[in-house]
Amino acid sequence: MLGHITHQGPLAHPELDDYPFKVTGQFGAAALMVVSGFFVCQTIRRGDAGRWLRGKIARLLPSYLIAVVITYLVMRFAGAAFSHQGFDGGWFDMLFGPTSDGIAWKTSWYVPVGHDLLVNLGMIQGWNPSFIWLDGSYWTLPVQIMVFVAAAVLWSATPWFRGDHTIKALAWGLTVVPLVLRFLVIGADNQASWAFGVVFGLGMHRMHAFAAGIGIWLWSRDRMSGRQLTALLAAVVIAQDMHLYPAGVALPGDPARMPSDIGFAVMLVAICAAAKGPDWTFLRPVAPLLTWLAGISYCVYLLHQELGYVLAKVLLEWGFPGWARLPLVLVAGVLAGWLMTKYVERPAHRRLTQPRRPAPAPRTALDDLLPSRRGDTSDGTPPISVGGSS
């Protein structure tokens, strides 16, 4: 959140560049996917893979779809207001049509149209460079769902795939193969739409993070040696660096990219310590707060970025300086995530995953001649007393 607010936000909207500090390291989403890869290995073994996959999708999709609609509407009307634009026509043009002047990028505040809403609802933003991401954080959803589907298929359809050597080969393949395809076969400077779709539509630029999660899980179960894990994680950090700076923005070791590389490496070490080390009892006093934040973190992730930029712009116009906007935007992001978790994510997940109750068998003519079973009536009336008991 700090990186998005203090670094990414001013890059997209230069007028917001007055925060007291900047967090330039870009490794938060990659660390999220490392943890995701770890827990895929940990949880998919516990039962039916299809039920596991349905549970994942039931938790991810409803909140995402609602977040997309909210973000679209806020971006549309706030962007038009910031750029002093309006809409012609009736309600359809107001909700989905272009602005009156037809300019979507009059300022740095983009005014999305109905096409952008459909693209983001369908999660196909990564398949064409002309598609607009309503929120920069949304790229993680199609990548994660794709990995979850692949994991469910591999686990249920290929039992031979569960051996240690095969899983290790998978981890190395997820790290090395995307590098070969992107930088040797396709070419890092290839601007073709199909090349963009292969790299970003298939999530090749983030597969190494899931590989790290797989390796850490194997190591935590004593199914991979420490030396093997070290080699894998070193390759993962290199892959992260190459995918994050594919066009030679800075050379390896340059100060411009060091915060991202070092931050990601430190996060990998911390995840290893949490996975296999002793319990972190020093965190016990703040454990309730951390548990609560963990429970709402997905919806916070969905809502804090682009909506946070809009809120920061409003606060700026009201005269709030950067040091005052920062805590307000942070608190607003957490509050929005809590509300979405409470009223969308958890109810939708319960509704979509609760087992269906079988319908009661219809009573036959013979059944009607018999006394009702204890507590069982077909018409909803109270049970008939039989022998002094009901």
386 pairs with which residues across the strands?
389
- Domain hosting 107: range is 26-289
Inter-residue long-range contacts of 16-20, CB under 8 Å, 24+ positions, other chains counted: 16/309, 16/312, 16/313, 16/316, 16/322, 18/321, 18/322, 19/322, 19/323, 19/325, 19/326, 20/322, 20/323, 20/326
Into how many domains does the chain fold?
1
First-to-final CA distance of the chain: 60
Note the helical H segments in 83-163. 91-96, 114-121, 140-157
CB burial of 316-331 (b: ≥16 within 10 Å; e: otherwise) equals beeeeebeebbeebbe
Judged by average pLDDT, the poorest of 152-156, 229-233, 354-358, 383-387 is: 383-387
pLDDT for residue 372 is more than 70:
no
Asked, for residue 92, whether it belongs to a domain, the answer is yes
Asked, for residue 296, whether it belongs to a domain, the answer is no
Integer Cα distance of 297 and 95 in angstroms: 30
Note the helical H segments in 255-321. 258-276, 287-303, 306-317
Per residue in 241-290, pLDDT (tens digit) is 999 887 654 455 566 788 889 999 999 999 999 999 888 889 999 999 99
Asked, for residue 319, whether it belongs to a domain, the answer is no
Asked, for residue 330, whether it belongs to a domain, the answer is no
Per residue in 5-50, pLDDT (tens digit) is 999 999 999 999 999 999 988 898 999 999 999 999 999 988 788 9
What is the CB-side half-sphere exposure of residue 269 using CA atoms within 13 A?
7
Residue identified by tokens 């272009």 is 98
| Res. 382 pLDDT band, cuts 50 70 90 | very low
What does residue 51 show for φ and ψ, rounded to 5 degrees? -65, -40
Asked, for residue 14, whether it belongs to a domain, the answer is no
Asked, for residue 251, whether it belongs to a domain, the answer is yes
Q: What local confidence, expressed as pLDDT, does residue 250 receive?
A: 45
Residue identified by tokens 């931050």 is 263
Asked, for residue 21, whether it belongs to a domain, the answer is no
Q: What local confidence, expressed as pLDDT, does residue 358 receive?
A: 61
Average pLDDT over residues 369-385: 43
Per residue in 52-99, pLDDT (tens digit) is 999 999 999 999 999 999 999 999 999 999 999 999 889 999 999 999
pLDDT for residue 187 is more than 90:
no
Asked, for residue 201, whether it belongs to a domain, the answer is yes
